[in-house]
Amino acid sequence: MPGLEPITGPTPEPNAAPEPTPEPTPNPEPTLDLTRGAARLTAALVDIESVSGDEKALADAIEAALRPYPHLEVLRDGDSVLARTSLGRAERVILAGHLDTVPIAVDSTGRRNVPSLLEGDWETGTLRGCGTSDMKAGVAVQLVLAAGLAEPNRDVTYVFYECEEVEAERNSLGRLIRTRPDWFAADFAVLLEPSNNIVEGGCQGTMRVRLTFRGARAHSARSWLGDNAIHKAGAALRRLAEYQPRRVEVEGLEFREGLNAVGITGGVAGNVIPDECSVLVNFRFAPDRDEADAERHVREVFAGLDAELVVTDSAPAARPGLHLPLAAEFVGAVMAGLDARPTAKFGWTDVARFAGLGVPGVNYGPGDGGLAHKPDESVDLGQVVRCAERMRSWLGPAS
């Protein structure tokens, strides 16, 4: 056609074979270098996403990193990894930390809080990202100790477990304790949950109860023909609003209790008097109470109400035990020179599981628990470095 340039270049062969499509390059498996220090290792751990139930990639990386060390016996169980020394020492301690995080957060600009973001330097800076504080910094400390301490002054069992941030029945530490009891025979345990490098003794117990109020449905235009269950629930809410929680000293540490409504459900439709209303109540109790005493107290608070009270879940508290020789020695080693003293643990932790085994334990690790689960979660890398140094000093020099 006029005005069109002729097509130039070679004419393709008829029925020529198409160019082969290159095979996609698989993503390399994440690897961990346990010799790079706890701060950099924290970043590497954060960069391997491990939301509860999806810890496999991180467990694979940890298992692969630990197996080359001849002083460690390594065991994989599900997506949990255990390692231990067996040097015949007179005492054994457990260092434990969970691998999972809460779901990844996205900020207003669309940025996810993984991968990690370094602000400043690796010695004194801040690392931001999901799990930095809760509790990949603590896991990093465990890993550098596991790799670097071939001749600890005590035998050490390292526990890296899955599904701590979800319902208790999925928490793999409970499963491991039941199925691998020989791995949990020990004299002392440290759970490296974030505590700002301050020893936190024991933990609160937790109990949830559901109060169910029942009435009778009716048209809201003729409400006198019904019995409003939501109105009945008001009596329970008033008792909760007026409740004065205890502050009690247990083995030298002050624990504070709390009894609070954490959920309420009820209602049928916008023109119906509701015939049922439920209030979910959470009781955080001090370790001078056992679960039976905690339930008795809750029932006393709500005595006389026209309601059904059912305990929906419960976990025991743990006493501090800081007067015991190993615990006292640990406190002296990791808090020497600090203008601080141990505090009570507000919240439930897996220290209670160790207490149930007769193994005294404490919470101690880098990071601020107040930043846990937040979109802008972060950790002070200076705390990570100092925690690793103090734990290494307590357990003995590296070989």
Nearest Cα to Cα of residue 197 among 137, 146, 130, 116: 137
Tokens at 248, concatenated: 């009690």
Nearest Cα to Cα of residue 188 among 347, 391, 399, 383: 391
Residue 4 pLDDT: 38
Tokens at 260, concatenated: 């609070």
Tokens at 186, concatenated: 């020990």
Give, in words, the CATH class of 38-203+318-395.
alpha beta
Contact 279, 233 (CB under 8 A): yes
Contact 240, 260 (CB under 8 A): yes
Q: Which residues contact 288 (CB under 8 A, 6 or more apart)?
A: 248, 250, 255, 319
Whole-angstrom Cα distance, residue 9 to residue 309? 85
Tell me whether residue 350 is one of the annotated catalytic residues: no
Residue linked to tokens 């005493």: 293
CA 72-75-80 angle, to 5 degrees, is: 120
Structure confidence by residue, pLDDT tens digits, 165-205: 888 888 999 999 999 999 999 999 999 999 999 999 999 99
Whole-angstrom Cα distance, residue 194 to residue 248? 24
Tokens at 72, concatenated: 């460690």
Handedness of CA 166, 317, 371, 174 (dihedral sign): negative
Contact 58, 48 (CB under 8 A): yes
Nearest Cα to Cα of residue 198 among 121, 253, 118: 253
What is the 8-class DSSP label of residue 269?
A: -
Longest dimension (CA), the chain: 100
DSSP 3-state of 186 = coil
For CATH 3.40.630.10, the residue range(s) in the chain are 38-203+318-395
Whole-angstrom Cα distance, residue 187 to residue 93? 6
- Pick the catalytic residue from 164, 368, 377, 380: 164
All residue ranges of the chain with pLDDT < 70 are 1-28, 397-399
Tokens at 193, concatenated: 């949950």
For CATH 3.30.70.360, the residue range(s) in the chain are 205-315
Contact 44, 143 (CB under 8 A): no
Contact 205, 284 (CB under 8 A): yes
Peptide bond into 135 cis (omega under 30): yes
Q: Which residues contact 86 (CB under 8 A, 6 or more apart)?
A: 73, 155
Structure confidence by residue, pLDDT tens digits, 133-148: 999 999 999 999 999 9
Tokens at 137, concatenated: 């910094």
Whole-angstrom Cα distance, residue 42 to residue 384? 8
For the range 221-225, what are the long-range contacts, defined as Cβ-Cβ under 8 Å and sequence gap of 24 or more? 221/271, 223/273, 225/273
Give, in words, the CATH class of 205-315.
alpha beta
Nearest Cα to Cα of residue 170 among 62, 79, 104: 79
Tell me whether residue 100 is one of the annotated catalytic residues: yes
- Pick the catalytic residue from 100, 134, 165, 368: 100
